Copies of this chain bind each other. A is one copy, B any other.
Amino acid sequence: MKPRRPSALDAAESCLERIAAREEAVLAWAFLDPELARGQARALDAGAVRGPLHGLPVGVKDILDTADMPSEYGTPIYAGHRPPWDAACVAAARAAGAVILGKTVTTEFATMTPGKTRHPLDPGRTPGGSSSGSAAAVADGMVPFAYGTQTVGSIIRPAAYCGVVGLKPSFGTISRSGMKMAAESLDTIGVIARSVENAALLLAAAAGRDDLLQIPFLEKPSLGVCRSPNWPQMSPEGIEGFEAAVSRLSAAGATIANCELPPEFDGLDRAHGRILAYEMSRSFAHEMAHHHSRISPALVELADLGLAMPHAEYAAAVTYAEECRKRMVDLLRDLDALITPSATGEAPPGLGSTGNTAMNRIWTLLYGPCVTVPAGRGPAGMPLGIQLVGLADADARTLAVARWVEEKIGTDPIFRK
């Protein structure tokens, strides 16, 4: 007798059951039709194995298009919008056998203004954003993994707040065809998952990268501890958690070096802010012209800032960022990755903001892969994360480091598996 193949329908039902029990509290989903998910699962169970994601449910941040579900981008402007296609990464996941379970909540256009999602451990706290629903759903055991996107800190921060793994690959790794653009030279599609291995699995399918299916083995990593130019914004519990994690990794055998960013990198935050405002003001030209009153004041302000910015200021920021990317090659010459906090501390109380992006902006701009791995909890009982940052296009190596770190620090089994 052949061993029974794991059933796609069983996997989907398990997710749907958890969602039925918990969605009222977490509000992670922008759209979910159980019958649509079951139909996909039944079709997969009836057919041949399609690929490495066969039968696995995937959540899709609602900034990415889906042909069979609404795609609303976190704004009432596009309520009910039905695109005629799947985003490239959604199509790739389906081709690899995934069940697209539903759409997860995004902030407005994946920018600042929060959606409805709450932190799975404390409904009074933000789950982080902009990939709020993806992080909360994965953390709460509603789905094994989900797509997110990061333009500032929108994958790493919510994943860290929620105690799961977040992976922002190198800029350009996953095609953005079918994504609602915000800032073209920053927007990066990535993954939120329960383990580094699972994150790599979905990344490999999304990017069409067989070479990422197998995370390389790493005996002992060389890590550069980077306390970042924004270190003064760290909370006491964030600092404590970070230093404790570094000590544990050192004790576990990692070679640890200090690797503060030299003063030449001090302008990264400012450059990021300029590029963000300039590019967003252009991306949202249609919405600014026709739906002005339905855009949040914060986004209007950012877009206005971008429109008023002289091009030379933007161009200087772009050039500066390119120079810093080159400098990173020297900085990481003898290192497998940098290790740096994923966020300034625990998920903060309140639902009016998705938290401080100070530990994320510069890494997004530097284009290298970022992976957050759970690293204990803070005094409020909220998860903390530790972030590995690699050189642009060193995704496999950075994933290897992240898996090593995950193994040594141990995942925090606070959530339903």
Which A residues contact B (CB, under 8 angstroms)? 67, 78, 81, 84-88, 90-92, 94-95, 172, 175-178, 180-181, 184-185, 207-211, 279, 281-290, 307, 310-312, 315, 393
Q: Which 10 pairs from chain A and chain B are nearest by CB? A: A91-B285, A175-B282, A91-B286, A177-B283, A177-B181, A85-B286, A86-B286, A88-B285, A92-B285, A211-B311
State A167–B27 Cα separation when bound (angstroms).
Answer: 48
State A366–B143 Cα separation when bound (angstroms).
Answer: 43
- Within 8 Å CB of A307, what residues of B? 208
Q: How far is the CB of A123 from chain B (nearest CB, A)?
A: 33
State A281–B91 Cα separation when bound (angstroms).
Answer: 11
Q: Which of B78, B176, B211 contacts A181 (CB 8 A)?
A: B176
- Within 8 Å CB of A184, what residues of B? 172, 175-177
Q: Known: A85-B286, A94-B289, A287-B85. Contact between A209 and B311, CB under 8 A?
A: yes
State A84–B315 Cα separation when bound (angstroms).
Answer: 31
What does DSSP make chain A's interface, helix, strand, loop or mixed? helix
- Chain B residue at minimum C-beta to C-beta distance from A310: B211
- Chain B residue at minimum C-beta to C-beta distance from A306: B208
State A151–B178 Cα separation when bound (angstroms).
Answer: 18
Q: How far is the CB of A79 from chain B (nearest CB, A)?
A: 10
State A180–B279 Cα separation when bound (angstroms).
Answer: 18
Would you call B283 and A175 a contact (CB within 8 A)? yes
- Chain B residue at minimum C-beta to C-beta distance from A176: B184
- Within 8 Å CB of A290, what residues of B? 67, 91
Would you call B289 and A91 a contact (CB within 8 A)? yes
Q: How far is the CB of A305 from chain B (nearest CB, A)?
A: 13
State A81–B88 Cα separation when bound (angstroms).
Answer: 18
- Within 8 Å CB of A281, what residues of B? 208
Would you call B209 and A67 a contact (CB within 8 A)? no
State A208–B277 Cα separation when bound (angstroms).
Answer: 13
Would you call A286 and B88 a contact (CB within 8 A)? yes
State A175–B95 Cα separation when bound (angstroms).
Answer: 30
- Within 8 Å CB of A287, what residues of B? 85
Which of A84, A94, A176, A393 has the most chain B CB atoms inside 10 A of its CB? A84
- Within 8 Å CB of A279, what residues of B? 175
- Chain B residue at minimum C-beta to C-beta distance from A282: B175
Would you call A78 and B88 a contact (CB within 8 A)? no
- Within 8 Å CB of A175, what residues of B? 181, 184, 279, 282-283, 285
- Within 8 Å CB of A84, what residues of B? 78, 81
State A185–B67 Cα separation when bound (angstroms).
Answer: 25
- Chain B residue at minimum C-beta to C-beta distance from A92: B285
- Chain B residue at minimum C-beta to C-beta distance from A279: B175
Q: How far is the CB of A310 from chain B (nearest CB, A)?
A: 7
State A181–B172 Cα separation when bound (angstroms).
Answer: 13
